[in-house]
Amino acid sequence: MGWRWEKVRARTGLIAAAVVIVALALVAGFLATRGGGGKTTATSPPATHTTAAGSTGGGGAAKPKEITLNIGLMVDKSGPTSGVGRPYAEGAEAAFKYFNEKGVYTRDGVRVKLNYIERDYGYNPTRAKQYYNEFRDQYHVAAIVGWGTADTEQLSSQVAKDKILYISASYSAKLVPQPYNFFPAPDYSTQACAAVTWMAQKKPGATLVLMYDHTVAYSKSPIPAIKAMAEKLGLKVYDVNLPLRASDADAENAVQQASQYKPDFIWCGNTISSCSRAAKAMAKYGLNAVMVANVWGFDERFPQLAGGSSQLAGHVAGVSPWRWPEGMQDKPGYREVFEAAKMAGKKVNLRFMQGFMNVWLLVKAIERTDSKTLMEKKGEALKEALESSCNGQPIKLGDITPPMRYCPGNHLPFRSSYIVVWDGKSFKFEGPITPSGVDCVKVTNEAEK
């Protein structure tokens, strides 16, 4: 009987072991269906095509642990605006790296990986359209972080049709009423109206020369609003053409033309390359006026690019919706910018910060969505998330921006801007100034009809 007893005991042990293995498998299967911050497995379906469920029971799909969003990044590293476009692109690239490592989460706790596809379109609207089609058709992007005015304006109706969120470096007033276009700043026209308000405060009845490229959409964008505000405030206005790709000779010719009007102020509506050349020509010919450049025409490099002449002290300035990052690294918002730059091995300047801010605005939209809605509606969900700030909690990028509200049909998040004046040793911020008396967005858009 002994051998039979041993046989029974062996069978019993095998049965017990089998029961334990089955139990462990069931527990592991249950844990695998729970939400969390871990990575999806290689056998999981593509995250951007997965349908999330709010429950793990009843046969529904489990909430994913991580999802991936494809994002288009349109930049100018080789075209006529590359002088500001390259550091902007570096800021955006660093932001994607920073937020991916830090972790971006939907409001229901699902981690979102940002997979960006970058294209340098060289400030060519035709090429921008080609890359847009690639982003949409090949990569099925949920959002695009874009660049220029002409291309962004031209794509705005298609973006709305395709329901792709578009956060641009163009702050054109034409984009303010567009349903899928956003930016974390006042539009160009509102910024320019703040500059004209400042000029009128400094010298009532002043003469203003508008110096800009008469053929470029970005340069022309705020001109109707500037003229309307100048008329309202009693300033005399004249126009002079300054090419966006101006040579020193072009800049000198523009300044000599401006001199005949004996201006008190000059508005430079191009980017920093041509604006700084014009300022150098002002010093060369002794034009005693104050140049105020738009947001892309003036930054930390301006005095050096303009020749460093002592004559420029108090005679060059620029518009900025935000305080610049220098000296602000311990402030909320700026601190994140500096952390991202350190991680990427890059230097922080205004342009880097602007690129970072646009990606951060996208992250803010993601944080206001839930994973199910985000995966099902993508760009539409992100649009609705930003517009939830209209009557709900406003959006802030730390201390960089004031509270921002985006309302359906009106994506103007705030209206104030600083005037940044070079005094020969440092930059002085005056303001913020909020223009009044003229609806600068409305004037710009009506002028285009």
Encode pLDDT of 411-421 as tens digits.
Answer: 999 999 999 99
pLDDT at 41: 25
Q: pLDDT tens digits for 50-63?
A: 223 333 333 445 66
Asked whether 134 and 159 are in contact (CB, 8 A), the reply is: no
Whether residue 244 is predicted with pLDDT greater than 90 in this model: the reply is yes
Nearest to 340 by CA among 326, 356, 354: 356
In the chain, the amino acid numbered 231 is: E
> Which pLDDT value is given to residue 15?
39
Q: Domains in the chain, please, with CATH?
A: 66-185+326-387 (3.40.50.2300), 188-320+417-447 (3.40.50.2300)
- Residue 58, CA distances (Å) to 33, 62, 342, 391 in order: 12, 10, 48, 37
Query: Is the pLDDT reported for residue 182 higher than 60?
Result: yes
What gap in Å lies between CA 260 and CA 282, rounded to an integer?
Answer: 13
Report the pLDDT value the prediction gives residue 49, as an integer from 0 to 100.
30
Share of the chain above pLDDT 90, in %: 84
Q: Dihedral sign, CA of 33, 39, 43, 48?
A: positive
For residues 107 and 368, is the Cβ–Cβ distance under 8 A?
yes
Kindly tell me if the per-residue pLDDT of 10 is higher than 70.
no
At 90-117, the pLDDT tens digits run 999 999 999 999 999 999 999 999 999 9
Percent residues over pLDDT 70 in the chain = 86
For residue range 29-47, list pLDDT tens digits in order.
333 333 333 322 222 233 3
Answer whether 65's CB lies under 8 Å from 40's CB. Answer: yes
Q: Out of 268-272, 319-323, 444-448, which region has the weakest mean confidence (pLDDT)? A: 444-448
- 188-202 and 223-233 helices cross at what angle (nearest 10)? 30
Pairwise pLDDT comparison (26 vs 386), residue with the higher score? 386
Bridge partners of residue 41, in order along the sequence:
none
CA-based nearest residue to 44, from 26, 56, 62, 27 = 62
- Residue closest to 96 by CA, chosen among 375, 363, 335: 363
266 φψ region: left (φ > 0), alpha (ψ -120 to 50), beta (else): beta
Residue 325 pLDDT:
98
- As a whole number of angstroms, the distance between CA 150 and CA 137 comes to 22
User: Is residue 433 classed as helix, strand or coil in its secondary structure?
Assistant: strand
Which helix or strand (DSSP H or E) is residue 186 part of?
none
Nearest-angstrom CA–CA distance, 265 and 152: 30
| pLDDT bucket at 23, cuts 50 / 70 / 90 | very low
Report the mean per-residue pLDDT for the chain: 89
Task: State residue 65's pLDDT score.
Answer: 87
Say if residue 247 is exposed, middle or buried (CB neighbours under 10 Å; 0-12, 13-18, 19+): exposed
pLDDT tens digits for 386-428? Answer: 999 999 999 999 999 999 999 999 999 999 999 999 999 999 9
CB 324 within 8 A of CB 300: yes
Mean pLDDT of 234-258: 98
pLDDT value for 196: 98
**Rounded-to-integer distance, Cα 428 and Cα 198, Å:** 14
pLDDT computed for residue 308 by the predictor: 87
Q: What is the mean pLDDT of residues 318-335?
A: 98
pTM, two decimals, is 0.85
